[in-house]
């Protein structure tokens, strides 16, 4: 059955989940036989091959509400492994623009996951994916940080600075808007989820400046985006090879 929002019927086992539909086009440049299969609302989907492995990319839009719609529909289409390739704002001074944040777990400040399950349920990465991401990031020598992230629903709230200072003291690495939702719902549905975030905003910088820089495709943020794509593809390929063995 063609899914109502993503407008796909069948997808590969391995899926990449950017928020931004433009990132789907970027991923396609790393694939063989890449083609767009659907483009509806914020959900743009493409398929292709990476070193012979089938891969699907679907953009989730901004926030947990649309991200979990994408994930639920992709599961109905056959997806089993998901890696989010997103962007984030740093919550620690040592995280530079273009550094990759590999999320081990995410603070559930989103609304969507709470519609499914009590806040005491954890939002954690799948161990197999997390291990593959860490191993490949080291092999590729990409600047990266592994730890707890935070997913929120609100970009322009009045106490944003205070909130980031609070999470800074709790050793949270950075903020995005989808990882916690994807982790919690992935675990509930029995699929495997990981998340890499390219840092586009320095800690204590103005969020709007950072995102603007990113929109203007500044060098470091761009390099970070390319790196997170390669890292996600390489990690999934590693798992794929093990599956075939
Ligand atoms: O670049 P993406 O993957 O969209 O991720 C981040 O960017 C958006 C906000 O600008 C939110 O979706 C946030 O999670
Ligand atoms: O600061 C930022 C940047 C990207 N995405 C976020 O959620 N926050």
Using the predicted structure, report yes or no on whether residue 233 has a pLDDT greater than 90: yes
Using the predicted structure, report yes or no on whether residue 208 has a pLDDT greater than 70: no
177 Cβ closer than 6 Å to some ligand 1 atom: yes
Q: Report pLDDT digits (tens) over 98-150.
A: 999 999 999 999 999 999 999 999 999 999 999 999 999 999 999 999 999 99
Q: Which spans in 152-244 are helix H?
A: 160-169, 179-189, 207-215, 219-244
Q: Which CATH superfamily is domain 14-244 in?
A: Nucleoside phosphorylase domain (3.40.50.1580)
pLDDT on residue 217: 47
Q: Report pLDDT digits (tens) over 72-87.
A: 999 999 999 999 999 9
Radius of gyration of the chain (CA): 16
Kindly state the tokens that stand for 175.
């903020």
Q: Report pLDDT digits (tens) over 137-194.
A: 999 999 999 999 999 999 899 999 999 999 999 999 999 999 999 999 999 999 999 9
CA distance 87 to 105: 16
CA of 69 to the centre of ligand 1 (A): 16
Q: Whose CA is closest to atom 6 on ligand 1?
A: 87
Token pair 């719902």 in the structure block, residue? 185
| ipTM for the assembly | 0.97
Q: Report pLDDT digits (tens) over 25-84.
A: 999 999 999 999 999 999 999 999 999 999 999 999 999 999 999 999 999 999 999 999
Q: Whose CA is closest to atom 2 on ligand 2?
A: 89
Using the predicted structure, report yes or no on whether residue 213 has a pLDDT greater than 60: no
Closest CA to 196 of 140, 156, 122, 119: 140
pLDDT on residue 205: 74
């Amino acid at each position: 059955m063609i899914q109502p929002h993503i407008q796909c019927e069948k997808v590969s086992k391995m899926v990449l989940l950017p928020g931004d539909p433009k990132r789907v086009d970027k991923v396609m440049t790393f694939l063989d036989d890449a083609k767009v299969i659907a483009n509806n609302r914020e959900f743009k989907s493409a398929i292709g091959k990476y070193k012979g492995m089938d891969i699907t990319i679907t953009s989730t839009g901004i926030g947990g509400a649309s991200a979990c719609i994408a994930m639920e529909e992709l599961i109905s289409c056959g997806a089993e492994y998901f890696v989010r390739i997103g962007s984030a704002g740093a919550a620690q001074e040592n995280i530079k623009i273009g550094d990759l944040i590999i999320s081990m777990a995410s603070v559930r400040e989103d609304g969507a996951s709470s519609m499914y399950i009590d806040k005491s349920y954890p939002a954690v990465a799948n161990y197999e994916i997390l291990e593959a991401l860490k191993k490949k990031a080291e092999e590729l020598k990409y600047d990266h940080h592994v730890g707890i992230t935070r997913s929120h629903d609100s970009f322009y709230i009045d106490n944003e600075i205070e909130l980031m200072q609070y999470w800074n003291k709790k050793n949270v690495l950075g903020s995005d808007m989808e990882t916690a939702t994807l982790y919690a719902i992935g675990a509930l549905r029995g699929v495997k989820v990981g998340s890499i975030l390219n840092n586009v905003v320095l800690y204590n910088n103005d969020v709007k400046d950072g995102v603007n820089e990113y929109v203007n495709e500044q060098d470091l943020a761009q390099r970070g985006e390319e790196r997170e794509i390669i890292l996600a593809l390489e990690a999934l390929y590693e798992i794929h090879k093990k599956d075939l063995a």
